[in-house]
Amino acid sequence: MPTSLVILAAGQGSRMNSERPKVLHKIADAPLLWHAMAAGQSIEPDHMVVVTGHGGAQVAASARTFDDSAICVEQTEQLGTGHAVDQARGALASFDGDVIVLYGDTPFISSETLLKMTRARAEGADLVILGFEAADAGRYGRLIEKDGQLERIVEAKDAGAAELAVTLCNSGVVCADRATLFDLVSNIGTDNAQGEYYLTDIVELARAAGRSAVVVRCDEAETLGINTRAELAAAEQQFQSTARNAALEAGVSLADPSTTVFGFDTVLGRDAVIGPHVVFGPGVTVESGAEVKAFSHLEGCHVAQDAVVGPFARLRPGAELAEGAKVGNFVEIKNAEIAEGAKVNHLSYVGDATVGRAANIGAGTITCNYDGVMKHRTEIGARSFIGSNTLLVAPVKVGEEAMTASGTVVTQDVPDGAMAIARAKQDNKAGFARRLMDILRAKKKQKGS
């Protein structure tokens, strides 16, 4: 059955004590909303509708950054979850299939769970509710079942003693045929303390209309909702723990797992070796057999097989390391390709550049890529040797098997096989150092007196 998603992302999140919309707070350097969208994307939906509200323009922009095909609709009044779902009615008017309702502040729903829900629909259930066995059911709505059918959802504040003893709780995630879902939503009333349209009411409406409703169960950890900074911090730890365990099980070596920080979409190949205190931002792929040493920070980059990074290295977006490339301590690479076997081992900045195969970049080398207005590229040829403390003023090209002398400022192209020397001639002044120091010491003594 074709499936579309409706992701509710309209809440202000007042308990976050923030001007930022709640769903734009981040876990693993990605907005909560992206986590929910990624979970939904895994089942290849026909449409993804994001219902915005507080900070709607920001939320819509973020949603489209993640998926430019996302449909964003606005809930101008916050009148409850049922009302929020109803805002997607027009966007899905011509859609014929199932709809899953997700929440932008519930980041850990798995693709396996969503597939279980779609299978339950395929097996004949008119309405599927996602539930979980709660360790502490306290504030959650209870799912009341009878003879394998979900009869109703009872909010904790309205539950009697027998209902409070139930530990099967409501996650809020719903799956139903589009026509069924919006028919039920259109019949939700506001006869409650808040005067709002509650999505949970659709269960009783469905049962009263003779429709079937069933519960699909998932682990409680998948249903974690984020409402406070403390919960956000706990969710970050949950994500990191899961990511670390998954990496270890996939054959990645983590020298000190508790200090490895994963990004939202980090990809590590089998037999990759990761040292302590390594941080992965978004968009990082490290292939099999590569090594990232301690205290390195990687973001938006690709590290090929057998390449070595760090320690204390920074790879910024656009950094591409080919097989066997080496980037050493206190080196920063940005929007640059480091070819097979090339080395940038010490204290250098290489930005907007191409470094050829087996080239060697000496300590303190800087590609001067920015003129204050525009960026310019540096090209360094294969098997070239860049002397320590070389400044390459882009745009400039150093040819294959060329060299630069230490301390050279390169402002013109260097032909293949040539050596560039661009520095003032050394002039040694005999005895000058001693005389100068004597003068300075005398001045210091005079001031002290």
Q: Which two tokens stand for residue 205?
A: 């409406």
Examine the residue annotation and report whether 346 is marked as an active-site residue of this protein: yes
The pair of structure tokens assigned to 119 is 């299978």
Please choose, from the candidates 165, 168, 138, the residue with its C-alpha nearest in 3D space to the C-alpha of residue 153.
168
C-alpha 151/C-alpha 375 separation (Å) is 64
Nearest to 142 by CA among 171, 116, 117, 115: 171
With contact defined as beta carbons under 8 Å apart, do 132 and 171 qualify?
Answer: yes
272, burial (CB in 10 Å: exposed 0-12, middle 13-18, buried 19+): buried
Structure token digits, residue 370: 């920015």
Alpha carbons 103 and 33: distance in angstroms, whole number: 8
Q: Active-site residue among 35, 297, 346, 376? A: 346
DSSP, collapsed to helix, strand or coil, labels residue 304 as coil
Question: Which two three-digit tokens encode residue 215?
Answer: 């519960």
Report the sign of the C-alpha dihedral through residues 277, 280, 286, 288, in that order. positive
Residues with active-site annotation: 346
